[in-house]
Amino acid sequence: MKKYIIKRLLTAIPVLLMISIGAFIMMNLAPGDPTDLYVSPDATPIQIEATRRALGLDQPYPVQYVRWLGRALQGDLGINYSTRYPVLPILISRVGPTIVLMGATLLVSYIVAIPLGILSARKHGTWVDNLLTGGSFVGVSIPNFFLGLGLIYIFSVQLGWFPTGGMSQLGGESGFFSVIHHLILPVIVLSAFYIANMTRYMRATMIQVYGENYIRTATAKGLASEVILTRHGIRNALIPVITIIGTDLPRLVGGAIVTEQIFQWPGLGRLTIMAIQQREYPMLMAITMLSAVVVLFANLFVDIMYAVVDPRIKYN
């Protein structure tokens, strides 16, 4: 297993390199120039060129990329154009809120979805199964922005139960309970899709497992349904579920962009929108590389969990 993990980590190096090249090319091919946002409309060509030189955009693209790569390998991800602050501290300050939001969403989603999927499979063909299946289709279909704005209007504007956005009360205490209070609505919005999606996958997997011969044999031996479920059913059903979890981890980073913007959550999603609007290429490169690392480690985590759940899987 150790050799396999080391090999996968070494393989990730050229993959990250190719991702960085592709991201750099696409950002620089996008229409517009960052200097347009930092010079006046009546600026002279000399002033525009001085601004480009100050931002490091006066060199050819290959030279800019090599300089960025050299600095990135030393832990320097560049300078934010608008604030002239280093990118890395800004990125680190936004990772924490996103991890809080993502962690709470994953926890709520899987705690709710896995039991619902099992219940739907055990009640296959009944009104309970139909109700859960119908609810899953609604959860998958409803857009994040629509659900978020609807919850804000009902529970924040009309009822006043929850704040409309932010991570803490402006001018008030930012303690644990304040963060939880601000976290409830964004977590509901984000987890709605993942609960619905995971419930459907768990239901389909459990129905397939219940049809296997070893389940019939265990039932014929007179084992209790709870024993069959815990010892034989769930563990064998977790293999495809782990795959879905692995795809959800990086997808949450992208899905949080809309939700963080709606609820003004100070995380990576909101930072990404701001970086796009202000053409902050160094910040966008840093966010892209962070997302790529999350995807690679999520895939590695899935492969490791396969071997943990199923002892028959061996990595040589």
Which residue segments constitute the domains of the chain, with CATH numbers given?
87-309 (1.10.3720.10)
Q: If we measure between CA atoms, which residue out of 192, 207, 182 comes closest to residue 112? A: 192
The predicted pLDDT at position 301 comes to 80
The predicted pLDDT at position 233 comes to 65
The predicted pLDDT at position 37 comes to 67
Per-residue pLDDT of the chain (316 residues; tens, 9 = 90+): 777 777 777 888 888 889 888 888 888 777 767 776 666 666 677 777 777 777 777 777 888 888 888 888 888 887 887 777 888 888 888 888 888 888 888 888 888 988 888 888 878 778 888 888 888 888 888 887 888 888 888 888 888 888 887 777 665 566 777 788 888 888 888 888 888 888 888 888 877 777 666 666 766 766 666 666 666 666 666 777 777 777 777 766 665 778 888 888 888 888 888 888 878 888 888 888 888 888 888 888 877 777 776 666 666 6
The predicted pLDDT at position 51 comes to 73
The predicted pLDDT at position 109 comes to 87
Residues 185, 189, 190, 191, CA torsion sign = positive
Residue 37 is given by DSSP the state G
**Cβ 38 vs Cβ 51: under 8 Å:** yes
The predicted pLDDT at position 46 comes to 76
- For residue 162, list its beta bridge partners: none
Q: If we measure between CA atoms, which residue out of 178, 105, 188 comes closest to residue 154? A: 188
